[in-house]
Structure 1
Amino acid sequence: MTFHDRTEELDALVSAFESTGSDVFVVYGRRRVGKTELLKEFCADRPHIYFLAAQEAENRQREKFIDQVAAYFDERVPRIDGWDEAFEYLGEKLRSEEVVVVIDEFPYLVEENDSVPSYVQGFVDEHLQQTESMLVLCGSSVSTMESEVLGHESPLYGRRTAQLDVQPFSFQDAREVITYGIADAIRSYSITGGTPMYLTLFDYQQSLTENIRDQVLSPSAVLYNEPEFLLRTELRNPARYMSILEAVALGHTTPNEIAGATGIDVGPLSKYLQTLRRLRLIDREVPVTATDKKSKRSRYRVADEFLRFWFRYVEPNRSSIEEAPGVVYDGTIAPDLPTHVATTFEDICQEAIWEGIRRGDFEPYSEVGRWWYGEDEIDIVGLAPADDRILLAECKWTTDPVGKPLVESLRAKAPNVRWGPEDRDERFVLFSKSGFIDGLEDDLGEHWSLYTLSKMDDLITSGSTVAD
């Protein structure tokens, strides 16, 4: 896979390596976000030992680890009986040389022997701290990394000198990879999301339709079974989790709605939802104005665009896709795709607002998110408590230009957002895929900002001239 971006993450690793003394650097994040590629890029021109753990017996893992260490130092493989001896051997060798030691998929070692973090602690305290070398512990099991490496109860607590929680690419980052015009770039991102592997599987010289058919709907394609593979990697019995993800992807977002769609009682459902959140497969949202983040007005959403697409269109239609993928695309996916993309468009508009805040195009807001109460919803609300300022924005992924009805609707809903004093400073933003009716911007005051797709693209890509 081609390496893209990750400049800040690379800089953090380089700074740690070049600093005085030893380092214990923790890298973690969801599967497929590019952690291994990041570490390979970092290690490429530095002395390093790279060990990739696997789901296999402990003694075999240890043998491979010792093989890697011995091979680097060009020595015969010593006889080692336990992890304590393995790390002691590594420690002795590091006394004479500055090396980056990467243990990738560290949770697999812990899975086979939960004492491994204690052995690593001993290695850090007794050996690594006396060197200029760097230990990198990397893992895709976020829960294991947080508990067994970063957690208060971990023997390694307090030993790390830095950490990276590697996230999927934002649309702004992914825009460097997706070479379509802005409209198709948004559509494409709504399918691949920001996962580097998925982004780079698409061929942007082909049409989006061809990419969907070839890379997602073909039973021989990697992405056709990818979500099921991911879940089976993380969970012993993924069937119920898959039904929950499908329900949420299809628009059942409250616990009661999810329970009704899946047939899972609300009580047990909460544990499944908690696990899916821990795996970063779903997010829980509350209205941005909620003072209690445990608000009963919470909603759930699939946290990854590709998973949301797959559970919305692929999983419910697998039998038909096996027989006639073209028919499924033309009859089911293509007509409904604008509805799917509209949700992604709201997220990208949030990105545009944050970028506008950073660049000074918008005044600062400390919180930006969705808002809803009863039947009322506003796509984006920004809060600036120190200045009693509120931003209210709507995002329209429609085929017609936006006109006065949306303006009046947003004005009417604004008083229902109960936040701040009565004389608060209200700012309004409209984002529209198809632009605006002639003269609309002239009819609105200075507190209104209107963004077409090309204007959004310029904002997000800092002056890019990518065609609309």
Structure 2
Amino acid sequence: MAFTGRGRELRILESWLDKVSSGSGGSRGQALVLKGRRRIGKTRLVQEFCGRSRLPYTFFQATRSQPAPLARRALFDAVSGGVGMKEYGAALAHVPPPDDWVRTLAAVAAALPADRPVILVLDEVPWLAESDPGFDAALKTAWDLHLSAKPVLLLLLGSDLSMMDRLTSYDHPFYGRAGEYTVGPLNPADVQESTGLDAAEALDAYLVTGGFPEVVTDWRTGESVSAYLARQVENPSSVLLTTGERSLAAEFPARLQAGRVLRAIGSGERTFSGIAASTGGTDGRPLAHGTLAPILTELTEVKRIVAADLPLSVQPAPKLKRYRIADTYLRFWLAHLENAVAQAERGRGEVSVARIQRSWPSWRGRAVEPVIREALARRLAMDAFPEAAEVGGWWNRQNNPEVDLVGADDLPIARRVFFVGSVKWRDEARFGARDLAELAASARLVPGAEEAPLVAVSRRPPTAEAADGLAAHWGPEDVITAWR
């Protein structure tokens, strides 16, 4: 798979390696925890980084359910066979590893060079902890006594977000010994670079692929969204169709209710009561509060696949929480592709294409809103509204009106609202006087925003009449630029 994007992530890794090379990190060795959902590209990113470093490195990939003695043997083999590690790891090649992780890691530390930086990668650390509950404490001991004394950058990778969070938590043995960074999908600018599309089409490509590296790299340079979809949905084994199913199977192997809740949100249910009704039993009764509430907590706080949004204004509204699929690719897959595999197997990919085309304009209009909010919060709104540190939306109990953009100083309860805006992501119609009038009427209902300036983000430039009433307008190129 071709490597694309990841400029920010590579710079962060290089900064940690520089601490080791310069000795400026407080200890000779440095440790960094890298976490991220499965198939997001953590392993590929670190492999690329190790190759570019031109330093000796060991990449150890743990195996799920592998007994600890076999895992320790595999680690010895990885060190002795690492890139540029032959002269250092030879002592480990033909000796049996110790019977515990402390002495095994101590032996690894002893084999590392003392006069030049080296990179040691332990991939899927949660699987090591599953096979041996004492691994975490052993890692702490080995780091304190042996590894941190060597010029080593220790990279600890894992896809189980809750277990990786625990690794650096306050009550954990390894607390305070490592930095941490969450690897997300490719950003919209990376997707544009990979696909060779203009800004508007690249944002569409981002909404389809979610920035999942293996899905993005299967996009042919300059290929239109419609051509890409037509090619993908006719093949039942295409990455676009299969990645979502594999991701859900890995995250929720036996959680039928969690899967139903995800599908309800993916189909458009946003409120607690709506989700409960959609996932209730065959008797028509909604899913019980005591059952649904912990599932939503897991999806939002542990798995982070779902986001829970609150209306942003100077007035709290904790009962108006709205749920959405936070994973951009999974949002598209749940809405359009879950049944496309069966159609592809029948040779009826055109059925899936037609279904996507029918719902695409309205689905895209809502799906692009979180992307635009993130772009505005990153840097897009800084020049016009430097104090607007947070960007959200606003709605009332009836969802009438719903305001797409609210820029404020804090989230979810603001002290001050700096702007109110609208997102119109239409192919042909421009943001016009009618859109401006609707935005102005809605803005007056947002608590604290009665006098706030009006802004718009649209796929096409606004009309001259509408532009006169806007404090700022941004288009597709501006949105992409927020990630450059």
CA 1:137 to 1:194, structure 2 compared with 1: closer, same or farther past 3 Å?
same
| Offset of residue 404 of structure 1 | 1.6
| Offset of residue 141 of structure 1 | 1.0
CA distance in 1, matches of 2:483, 2:366: 25
Q: Residue 422 of structure 2: SS of its match in structure 1?
A: strand
CA 1:280 to 1:463, structure 2 compared with 1: closer, same or farther past 3 Å?
closer
User: Quick check: 1:461 aligned with 2:453?
Assistant: no
CA RMSD in angstroms comes to 2.5
The 5-angstrom pairing of residues 23-422 of structure 1 reads: 23-44=30-51, 45-58=54-67, 59-71=69-81, 72=85, 73-75=89-91, 76-80=93-97, 81-94=99-112, 96-97=114-115, 98-147=117-166, 149-160=167-178, 162-263=179-280, 264-277=287-300, 278-289=302-313, 295-316=318-339, 318-354=341-377, 356-357=379-380, 360-374=383-397, 375-384=400-409, 388-398=416-426, 399-419=428-448
2:459 to 422, 430, 433: 433
| Offset of residue 388 of structure 1 | 4.3
Amino acid at match of 1:54: T
| TM value normalised by structure 1 | 0.89
| Offset of residue 109 of structure 1 | 0.5
| Offset of residue 382 of structure 1 | 0.3
CA 1:64 to 1:203, structure 2 compared with 1: closer, same or farther past 3 Å?
same
On the 8 A contact 2:267/2:335 being kept in 1, the answer is yes
Q: Residue 431 of structure 1: SS of its match in structure 2?
A: strand
Aligned match of 2:283: none
Identity of aligned residues (%): 28
Aligned match of 2:284: none
Q: Residue 364 of structure 2: SS of its match in structure 1?
A: helix
CA 1:241 to 1:458, structure 2 compared with 1: closer, same or farther past 3 Å?
same
More displaced, 185-194 or 210-219? 210-219
More displaced, 167-176 or 62-71? 167-176
How far does the alpha carbon of each residue in 1:37-59 deviate from its partner, in whole angstroms, 9 at most, with x for none?
22112211111111011113223
How far does the alpha carbon of each residue in 1:87-133 deviate from its partner, in whole angstroms, 9 at most, with x for none?
12112223635421110111111111111011111111110222222
Note the residue ranges of structure 2 that are not aligned, 5 or more in a row: 281-286
On the 8 A contact 1:26/1:136 being kept in 2, the answer is yes
Amino acid at match of 2:306: I
* Equivalent pairs, count: 452
On the 8 A contact 1:288/1:381 being kept in 2, the answer is yes
| TM value normalised by structure 2 | 0.86
On the 8 A contact 1:392/1:428 being kept in 2, the answer is yes
CA 1:178 to 1:343, structure 2 compared with 1: closer, same or farther past 3 Å?
farther
More displaced, 325-334 or 302-311? 325-334
Aligned match of 2:18: 18
How far does the alpha carbon of each residue in 1:286-331 deviate from its partner, in whole angstroms, 9 at most, with x for none?
11227668x1211111111211111111224554443243332343
CA 1:124 to 1:206, structure 2 compared with 1: closer, same or farther past 3 Å?
same
Amino acid at match of 2:8: E
CA distance in 1, matches of 2:101, 2:433: 69
